[in-house]
Structure 1
């Protein structure tokens, strides 16, 4: 606890310094009118045009549907692309989007989607069933000429949600068939009641096959193009600075988008984002520090927004690292971390901790006998000794380089974890790197020995949390760990329509994963966000990134 107090004191001192710098900047900027370049781009808007500016935390990794996993990329791609289905704003309830109707066959193996008429991609080419097929095959089929896998594109999120690629034994999708211009069918290996929700995940926006073919492997990278059917069209991406989008004048939703131009700025530091918000250089932002709640309350021009805690922040332990091949050692790590003290120290009343990988909103699918790992450093030390590590071991612990929705102060949280592990004899070396490299390198063998990561739900079902982290093909970052029992339970739950039966199946998964301690749940948190009072129409989604088509001021 003493070490945690020192870390917390350091964090507060660091925050105070940043706040002082921010205040000085604010004084200097208060009487200044923002230049066109502070909100605009090389394509400057006219005085009559409405520009909205969003403060993001990190650059997108790319602008390519199906080839990313992170929230910050999603905030950009959700503006450019539409999915077949969407969620009602502020909820997880499915609503039509590029598809107007969807239904399963009697045996549950074929899903048929009816597509919206008259929708065009930004490049003027038509959206139709052939375009859907080209996009899906790009993600699913390694032989797709539009996949450019030889350039390093891997589409790992497809494998995580749909159990593999074409030709692999476990692949849920078996075929995608064009019935006619407005009808597409997906043929599955086995029934999956959640298929519409999964294909509606924000990763799977529809891109122009023509644009992909013309751009080749560069599609979606900085300096190339990004062409969808969405509310905004891509203008430019200045890496490390901003992505600029403009209104799609031919958007299929009448009267939308409200804004003429959308600028998504990269501002890694939460204090800097708050300065930009207070001065009016940005209109809304996400992932603020709990320490900033009091500041928001003091500023009359700013309103607080909170998201629902539909997420998990976890510590992953890679089983390819010899000590973590033993579940007893992994459980010792879990017992060594004082999670309640960390929650009190870093999340300011906006978070909870427990032993469940799924968030509290999905408690009906959890084992009620699973509570949490008891903080007990003496028992952890004894467990390590009994497992062959009486003197501990060396450990490389990785943490994200920027504050996020779930980890508001990742460096200091990592230091707190390291301090707890040091107390039981583990010699921790802390590491970080840029966000895109962090996500990629954890998957490159042998991967990170231990790392912090977070997951926000893509659809309102435990399948999205479990299958994406413990299903076939989704455990490369933890040494390829596999449990046939877990996979059997997850597959049964996917096929089952009776919710009481599904709850029983998922409760067993919950218990097994608690005992295995592979991705140790650290936190479920509300995300602190803020906007200028004159902004209207922003409805944060519990599923992460949302479209800004209705945002205006």
Structure 2
């Protein structure tokens, strides 16, 4: 999750994925747009999600709630195919790679304008990447090192051609350029006018433009009439924030929302009985519990393993997710390259756990968690933490749980004052490095276990540079085995993507990377 790159993020989506989409949005307030309170008819779509975005600057956020909105405002050089993470042209129409794999030359789409009327060109690409490279990169740019860490420099060849030179070969580089974090193109004028932070005033090249953000209520977007690609079918999109799961279901069933995310198995029947539809697909994600390996007691691998032994993961997953998630035996999803079915985590053995914990004198732990649903955990972090609290009570360990809303929780994770924390990751690009790098990332909001294993870190570097194929897959299998042996995380589940929508909504889908592009969505 690279400042939760992974993290991130459940949402319903429209007809194309960020990169599979032709656009994203803008910070312009031109044009009319309906507010969520007055949204009616086929010209407005209301999407209700469980938490508010942290911001709308792709370089400065790392969460899924932000990603869903940004995927309608911005575009990158590349995009993902609708049904996979295969890269496709977007703002770049083609590209050439040097024989040594160190130079990528991108041929840019001509005639594209940012939503503020300025030109998209090679200078804009250079400005967007340079702000995330030393010496300009800042600590709050969570995904900068993940997407552009291998970049040496950017050269403007001509207005429609840009050359990106790497310090070392990077197999995931092209896929990284299609991500919604860090990679999208922002208007350089917008960045200059807003002191290099457009969290509140986003301007991209995508199919929707930003209109307004009423805190704790909604974000309103309007169709970009000057969009270079396929024009949106719905004029206004409203992202409405409804924290309570049951309240979102009521909003859907009452027609106050057209699409909702963050639902779980307990409300599916209520939704379908009301005549609404369920969007369901395999998820590219991981839901996990992490130990703070940087301090006592969980700088001790044996104590991490003992706590994990106390938790019956298959039973827990069946109880909480009712068949809409599968128990995780690894960090990576089972369909990802490098996954090996022989990988196993610490086995459930409460008797052995109790013995080890008693001998060590470990009787209390401090656990922090989040209160809202996440794409990888629709039961909420609060419910998950309480379930694990119950398991640990049976082996003589008392758990103190501190719970926070998502935005506050991200700050608490950054502060590092916990023994155990809960997180998850929604894959950004379909590459195994995107998952395993979480345990190597120096950013504490990505690597919440604060794990630092030199052998692991060296293998991560090797995996990035190794060409796709069996040799590279074997590296990521080995990384999985190291993480399992060290009991850094307790992998819990891989969730299905689960959303709901009104029957008059057409061509809605949620991309496997956790974004919700609406350019092809319509309402009868």
TM-score (norm 2): 0.89
* 1:251 CA displacement: 0.5
What is residue 482 of structure 2 aligned with on the other side? 512
Aligned to 1:270: 245
Higher share in helix = 1
1:159 alignment partner, one of 145, 148, 154:
145
Q: Alpha-carbon deviation of 1:348?
A: 0.9
Paired residue secondary structure (2:298): helix
Q: Which of structure 1's runs of 4+ aligned residues deviate more than 3 A?
A: 42-45, 471-480
Corresponding residue to 1:538 among 508, 515, 518? 508
Q: Out of 168, 171, 174, which is 2:152 matched to?
A: 174
Instruction: Name 1:34's counterpart in structure 2.
Output: none
Distance 2:180 2:370 in 1: 22
- Report which stretch shifted further, 492-501 or 202-211: 492-501
Name the residue aligned to 2:384.
Answer: 413
CA deviation vs aligned residue, 1:113-151 (integer Å, no higher than 9, x gap): 11111111111011111111111122223x43xx6x4xx
More displaced stretch, 482-491 vs 175-184 = 482-491
Pair 1:49–1:293, CA change in 2 (3 A): closer
CA-CA distance at 1:329 after TM superposition: 0.9
Superposed CA deviations along residues 239-268 of structure 1, whole A, max 9, x for unmatched, are 1110001110010113x1111111010011
Instruction: Give 3-state SS (helix, strand or coil) of 2:277's partner.
Output: strand
Taking a change above 3 Å as real, the CA distance of residues 93 and 323 of structure 1, as seen in their structure-2 partners, is same
3-state SS in 1 of match to 2:195: helix
Report what 2:413 is aligned to: 442
Number of residue pairs aligned between Structure 1 and Structure 2:
489
Shift of 1:438: 1.2
**2:161, 2:516 → 1: CA distance?**
26
Please state whether the residue corresponding to 1:275 is helix, strand or coil: helix
- Residue 63 of structure 1 deviates from its aligned partner by 0.8
**1:428-458 deviations in Å (ceiling 9; x for gaps):** 11112221221133122x4432111110011
CA distance in 1, matches of 2:294, 2:466: 34
1:298 is aligned, of 273, 276, 283, to 273
Counterpart of 2:371 in structure 1 is: 401
- Once the two structures are TM-superposed, the CA of residue 185 in structure 1 deviates from its matched residue by 1.8
**Deviation, structure 1 residue 226:** 1.2
Residues 58 and 72 in structure 1, CA contact (< 8 A), matched pair in contact too: yes
> Could you say which residue in structure 1 is the equivalent of 2:213?
237
Match of 2:296 among 322, 331, 343: 322
Note if contact 2:259-2:500 (Cα within 8 Å) is conserved in structure 1: yes
Q: Which residue of 1 aligns with 2:492?
A: 522
Q: Is 2:387 the partner of 1:382?
A: no
In structure 1, what is the equivalent of residue 395 of structure 2?
424
The residue matched to 2:522 in structure 1 has which SS?
Answer: coil
Paired residue secondary structure (1:216): coil
Q: What per-residue deviation string (whole Å, max 9, x for no partner) do you get for residues 251-288 of structure 1?
A: 0113x111111101001112111111111111112120
Q: CA deviation at 1:305?
A: 0.7
| 1:199 matches 2:192 | no
Distance 2:150 2:294 in 1: 27
Between the two structures, name the one with larger relative contact order (CA 8 Å, sep ≥ 6): 2
Report the Cα distance in structure 2 between the residues aligned to 1:247 and 1:379, rounded to whole angstroms: 60
Shift in Å at residue 86 of structure 1?
0.8
Query: What's 1:307 paired with?
Result: 281
User: d(CA) in 1 for partners of 2:372 and 2:172?
Assistant: 33
The aligned residue for residue 372 of structure 1 is 345
Report the CA distance between 1:48 and its aligned residue: 8.2
8 Å contact 1:381–1:425 — kept in the other structure?
Answer: yes
**C-alpha spacing 1:284/1:42, structure 2 compared with 1 (3 Å):** closer
CA separation of 1:548/1:286 partners in 2, compared to 1, >3 Å: closer, same or farther? same
Structure 2: stretches of 5+ with no match in the other structure: 1-32
User: How far has the Cα of 1:184 moved from its partner?
Assistant: 1.6
Distance 1:50 1:476 in 2: 39
Per-residue deviation, 1:510? 1.0
* CA distance in 2 between partners of 1:454 and 1:357 (Å): 10
Residue 367 of structure 2 contacts residue 418 of structure 2 at CA under 8 Å; is this kept in 1?
A: yes
Give the superposition deviation at 1:307.
2.6
Q: Tell me what 1:79 maps to.
A: 72
* 1:59 matched to 2:52: yes
Give 2:23's aligned residue: none
Is 2:435 the counterpart of 1:465?
A: yes
CA-to-aligned-CA distance 1:389-442 (integer Å, 9 cap, x gap): 23x243221111211222222222110111112222222111122212211331
CA RMSD of aligned residues (A): 2.1
Counterpart for residue 16 of structure 2: none
Give the aligned partner of residue 12 of structure 1: none
List runs of 5+ in structure 1 lacking aligned partners.
1-38, 163-170
> Aligned partners of 1:529 and 1:48: how far apart in 2?
21
Separation in structure 2 between the aligned mates of residue 158 and residue 217 of structure 1, nearest angstrom: 14
Contact 2:410/2:445, CA 8 A, preserved across alignment? no
1:228 is matched with which residue? 204
> What pairs with 1:104-115 in structure 2 (closer than 5 Å)?
104-115=97-108
Aligned to 2:21: none
Give the SS at the match of 1:193. Answer: coil
In the alignment, what sits opposite 1:491?
Answer: 461
Contact 2:436–2:476 under 8 Å retained in 1: no
Match of residue 323 from structure 2: 349
Distance 1:329 1:110 in 2: 47
CA offset digits 1:447-484 (Å, max 9, x no partner): 43211111001111111111133245568754642222
Matched, 1:253 2:229: yes
Q: CA deviation at 1:367?
A: 3.5
CA distance in 2, matches of 1:208, 1:194: 26
Q: Write the deviation string for residues 366-396 of structure 1: whole angstroms up to 9, x where unpaired.
A: 233223321111111223345xx23x24322
